[in-house]
Amino acid sequence: MPDAFNCPNCGAPLDYHGSDPIIRCPYCSTSVVVPENLRAKPSFSSKPSNFTLSGAGDMGGLIQKARRIKEVKDLAQSGHMDEAIHLYQEITGANDFEANTAVHSLSLGQPITLTNFSAEDVSAHVQQSIQASVQAGAQASKTASRVGCLVGCFVTGLTLFILAVTLVPIFASVIPFAIGAGEMSEAFQTAMPEIVEITTAIPQVIPTVQRFGQEEMSFGGEGTGAGLFTDPRAIALDPKSGNIYVADYQGGRVQAFDSAGEFITQWKVGDRNTIITGMGADRNGNVFVVSVSQIYRYDGASGELLDEIKAGDDVTYHFDDIAVGIDGTLYAVGGGETVVHMDQEGKVLLTIPDAISTITEDSELAARIAVDGEGNVYLLGRFNNAVFKFNPDGKFVNRFGSDGDDEGQFRAPYSIAVDGQGYVYVSDIKGIQVFDADGRYVDLIDPEGVVFGMVFDDDNKLYATSNVSKVFKFAISK
């Protein structure tokens, strides 16, 4: 029977199989950390002395440990640093300092060194193979050939296996083997430079972090004081003044900052149970907040509630997200996937009913919306793991993305934005993926934590909220 527990975001029951530390809620698409007591127990010892290559049993343990390094990286990049550090210590036996350093590197996509992978262990395994071959009566030349092939194939195969299975950059430091020349065959000595070249070349194939977007500024932190956040998700920006507006997901608090990230003021929407799912701002100082399926307009300078915007007279829309066009008109998505384009008085200019399920025949319950300078609408189907593009007349143009871990694929996507040059940005657990206007994958921005909300200013700078309770500003370089 599967283990069951509830999603902390929407309260839905979750069925859990296996040993993955993170699963995705099928109802609200939240990435949920599985309680440790529900995870399948590892079948290997966590003692550091077992993390060697001195025998066949230890090799199996090493492979399993290499797999679990990916779990550490997933936890770290989803913001669960304490659990990632604990798991890393369980796997490697590292002390607090070593574990903190390694997990921080993994969260940034940087290589780490597995210090317990020692040359003596490899040499011991090789010597055991030599001794076994001699006892079996093998000829010296055949033994040398076998050992050279064994070491070369093993190191090469293990290196490729770790890279392929864990998908994290792990560089196992190997010092020169402490074996005398008299104990090594000529073939083994010849193979050594090739082995060292293979292992030392591993970091060179790791993609550079933040090639496309460079962090310029960050502000915030966890807390309830001025400039601090409990769970910042929605973000909006006044293109004229440069003021930044950030809302916590629950509690109804909206904070205003100047363009340098300095706190200006704050106001409350509803009560402590209020959920804010989206925000937008125009050039006239208006801030639009989506809460409890309604759109409210506030004065960004004072936080005064100006009015509630109702779309049309005949249909009641339950809104989830909002984007503001450069002309000040509003693009909202309601009922999970219906697009409503309206002016600020609520006059409906265009609707795209059931925009995603009409195309995919799969229901969509949590679409996010963005609009470019030409009025093209982009919908991120969080349950469909795809982006859908519509022209200003509401005609479907293109879709891109799918479920998976490869470039251009999505795993628990959350938000979408379009910059001034028409590039499309989608955040998910792996980072912020960048696409051109036709949906071709371009690059990846690797921020700290998982990004929830994104918005651009007129200088094409990207502002993003993260689950590490901070706001980040990125300079985009193409």
Q: Are 230 and 322 within one domain?
A: yes
79 with 33, same domain: the answer is: no
For residue 53, is pLDDT > 60?
no
Same domain for 340 and 370, yes or no, is yes
Q: Does a structural domain hold residue 335? A: yes
pLDDT at residue 175 tops 50: no
Q: What is the pLDDT of residues 111-165, one digit of tens each?
A: 665 544 443 444 444 445 445 444 544 444 444 444 444 444 444 444 444 444 4
Does any domain span residue 47?
no
Task: Specify the 3-state DSSP secondary structure of 83.
Answer: helix
413-431 mean pLDDT: 96
pLDDT number for residue 72: 83
User: Residue 281 is encoded by which pair of tokens?
Assistant: 């701002």
Q: Give pLDDT, residue 82.
A: 78
434 located within any domain: yes
d(CA 26, CA 167): 25
Q: Which of 354, 358, 356, 365 is nearest to 401 (CA)?
A: 356
The count of domains in the chain is: 3
Phi, psi of 60 (to 5 degrees): -65, -40
**Could you please report the per-residue DSSP string of 19-57?**
S-SEEE-TTT--EEEPPGGGSPPPSS---GGGSSSSSHH
Residue type at position 162: I
Claim to verify: residue 236 and residue 336 sit in the same structural domain: yes
Q: Are residues 190 and 236 located together in one domain of the fold?
A: no
Assess if residue 277 is contained within a domain: yes
Nearest to 234 by CA among 283, 284, 269, 285: 269
Q: Is 127 helix (H, G, I), strand (E, B) or coil?
A: helix
Q: What mean pLDDT do residues 331-344 have?
A: 95
457 within domain boundaries: yes
Whether the CB-CB separation of 234 and 276 falls below 8 Å is answered with yes
Cβ 400 vs Cβ 413: under 8 Å: no
Least confident piece of the model among 104-108, 336-340, 451-455: 104-108
Question: Do 190 and 243 reside in the same domain of the chain?
Answer: no
Domain membership of residue 141 as a residue range? 53-205
CATH number for position 460:
2.120.10.30
Q: In what order do the strands lie in the sheet with 386-390?
A: 368-371, 377-381, 386-390, 396-400
Same domain flag for 154 and 285: no
Residue 418, pLDDT > 50, answer: yes
Same domain for 302 and 154: no
Average pLDDT, the chain: 78
Co-location of 460 and 422 in the same domain: yes
Angle at 392 between CA 390 and CA 398, to 5 degrees: 20
Which residue type occupies 145? Answer: S
> Does a structural domain hold residue 48?
no
- The two counts, helices (H) then strands (E), for the chain are 7, 30
CA dihedral 269, 274, 276, 279 (to 10 degrees): -10
Residues 315 and 404 in one domain: yes
Confidence of residue 36 (pLDDT cuts 50, 70, 90): low
DSSP for 242-276 reads --EEEEESBS-EEEEE-TTS-EEEEEE-S-TT-BE
The residue among 205, 240, 268 that closes a domain is 205
In a domain, 118, yes or no: yes
pLDDT digits (tens, 9 = 90+) for 290-328: 998 999 999 999 999 999 999 877 778 899 999 999 999
Is the predicted pLDDT of residue 4 greater than 70, yes or no? no
- Asked if residue 96 and residue 160 are part of one domain, the reply reads yes
Percent of the chain surpassing pLDDT 70:
67
Residue 46 covered by a domain: no
pLDDT digits (tens, 9 = 90+) for 244-259: 999 999 999 999 999 9
Whether residue 331 contacts residue 319, with contact meaning beta carbons closer than 8 Å, is answered with: no
Residue 454's DSSP bridge partners are: 464
